[in-house]
Amino acid sequence: MTNEAVALTGWGLTMPTRAAVSSISSAAELAPLLAGVGNRGVIARGAGRSYGDAAQNGGGLVVTLDAINDVEVLDDGDVVAGAGALLADVIAPLLARGRFLPVTPGTRFVTVGGAIAADVHGKNHHVDGSFGQHLRWLDLVVASGQTQRIGPDGSPDDVALFHATVGGMGLTGIIVRACFGSVESPTDQMNVDTYRCADLDSLMSQMVEREAGHRYSVAWLDGMARGGKLGRGVLTVANHALTNQTPTNHALSGGTRPTESQLAMRFAAPRINVPPVPVSPLNRVTLAAFNEGYYRAAPRVRTGQQVGLGSYFYPLDLVGGWNRLYGSRGFVQYQFAVPDSGAAVIRQALERLSSIGAPSFLSVLKRFGAGNSAAPLSFPIAGWTLAIDVPARLDDLGPILDELDDAVLVAGGRLYLAKDSRATPAVIAAGYPRLDEFRSIRQGIDPAGIFTSDLARRLAL
């Protein structure tokens, strides 16, 4: 069904554009829709959790697949899901079989299609890589209206199209269905070790030291600390708890295990929602206090703590619509990756942003293992990734982030397209040396260029 044009933004609530939105409930509806697309083109939209303009298409058509959300877990633990299914919908059926998502971003409210199109990474990237590396196949509706089942094996053209689609930000076609693997999770608990680190150097060295032996690792940084405290933060490393490590009611096998519907309730949408706020409560004062409090509340060292899987992976999902807290002008998440040799850029970014007093409530530092080198636009590269939220209303933000872009590029790094809302075409092209390869695959499968988005236009992808 095609609705009146509506204004769409990403999670950062910046740069709205209007587009006609068409919600489809079967892949068969796509062929006629694509045949009638006008010169402003078409793009798929998942749950709108990318921060910038990736899932919007001003003046054109936006297709949502919310109704294509069936989920099936096969006997070997592989999942077959409609591209409109939320990862939240996949978790319960997986856990009911003692398994979990192979990769999950920091929110479970993203779609399978969005997870593939951004080739998302999780806290286990250093061990398990990105989401696209766990795909068996996907069904892609291409510009001609035909559906192609493509995967990591097959004819060279199909394989190339598959890898361009993974991380391809919806620009190769519309993913309608996918099959991906899962990992073992014998219980619904995580064994978590926490280390509070007083400065950036100690945090980074702890991260490197503790990544071996832990499937999951992530550090929260106090984005507002300066001087000697710059980059202080809290590192957590974790593994799935085993059945002999938890009380029996946490085991996902055996007589006392939770039912699938009990599990589904735990991972349903949050019941607390932030209303729209006219004036952002997030400012330098409140956020300095929040960061200070969070840091102080963490134990200096605590090992072997058991935490529910939901609160470990999805602390931000407790409250719905928290993005509204940044006020009507929205916010930007600046996320870059640099190789180990470029680690100094992390300090530079924290210094520059704290120098303008950028009030940040979410700053996350992660290790990356080897990247998904087959996929030309996949973001992760071995080394570090830093993500910092900053309100878009800050006056000096533009020049400071432009300057950081240069530092990231000099260090051999790149920006994450799923988060970008302010880079230049040149910065993206320099960070993704295989952009031309991506372009030629796209040109081959969609010569008229019907798949396009605000992101693609803004960054001349």
Partner 1 sequence: MTDALARPTSLLILGGTSDIAVATVRALNSPVLRRVVLAARPSERRDAVVAALTGSGMRGVEVVDFDAADTATHQALLDSVFAQGDIDYVLLAFGVLGDQTDFEDNPDHAVEAATVNYVGAVSTALRVATLLKTQGHGGLVVFSSVAGERARKSNFVYGSTKAGLDSLANGLADSLHGTGVSVLIVRPGFVHTSMTSHLPAAPLSATAEQVAQGVVSGLRRGATVVYVPAALRVVMSGLRHVPRAVFRRLPI
Ligand X SMILES: Cc1cc2nc3c(=O)[nH]c(=O)nc-3n(C[C@H](O)[C@H](O)[C@H](O)COP(=O)(O)OP(=O)(O)OC[C@H]3O[C@@H](n4cnc5c(N)ncnc54)[C@H](O)[C@@H]3O)c2cc1C
Binding site for partner 1 (CB under 8 A): 5, 7, 12, 14-19, 40, 52-53, 57-60, 328-330, 332, 392-393, 397-399, 402, 421-426, 454, 457-458
CB 116, CB 131: distance < 8 Å: yes
DSSP 218-275: EEEE-TT--GGGTT-EEEEEEEEPPGGGS-GGGBSSSTTPPPHHHHHHHTS--SEEPP
Task: Report in angstroms how near the CB of residue 329 gets to partner 1 at its nearest.
Answer: 7
CA dist., res. 260 & res. 248, Å (int): 17
Out of ligand X, partner 1, none, what residue 242 binds, judged by CB under 5 to 8 A for its kind, is none
**10 Å Cβ neighbour count for 5?**
16
* Secondary structure (3-state) at 48: coil
For partner 1, the closer of residues 332 and 364 by Cβ is: 332
Out of partner 1, ligand X, none, what residue 83 binds, judged by CB under 5 to 8 A for its kind, is ligand X
For ligand X, the closer of residues 50 and 189 by Cβ is: 50
CA dist., res. 139 & res. 150, Å (int): 6
Task: Report in angstroms how near the CB of residue 13 gets to ligand X at its nearest.
Answer: 11
The DSSP call for residue 54 is T
Task: Report in angstroms how near the CB of residue 232 gets to partner 1 at its nearest.
Answer: 28
CB 372, CB 380: distance < 8 Å: yes
Out of partner 1, ligand X, none, what residue 160 binds, judged by CB under 5 to 8 A for its kind, is none
Task: Report in angstroms how near the CB of residue 347 gets to ligand X at its nearest.
Answer: 22
* Secondary structure (3-state) at 181: coil
For partner 1, the closer of residues 18 and 215 by Cβ is: 18
Q: What distances in angstroms separate CA 21 from CA 18, 64, 165, 299, one per listed residue?
A: 9, 7, 22, 48
Which of 378, 326, 387, 383 has its CA nearest to residue 353?
387
Residues that bind ligand X (CB under 6 A): 11, 43-50, 54-55, 65, 83, 105-107, 110-111, 113-115, 117-118, 120-122, 169-170, 174-175, 316, 418, 453
Out of ligand X, partner 1, none, what residue 402 binds, judged by CB under 5 to 8 A for its kind, is partner 1
For ligand X, the closer of residues 105 and 330 by Cβ is: 105
For partner 1, the closer of residues 446 and 454 by Cβ is: 454
Task: Report in angstroms how near the CB of residue 223 gets to partner 1 at its nearest.
Answer: 18
Out of partner 1, ligand X, none, what residue 59 binds, judged by CB under 5 to 8 A for its kind, is partner 1
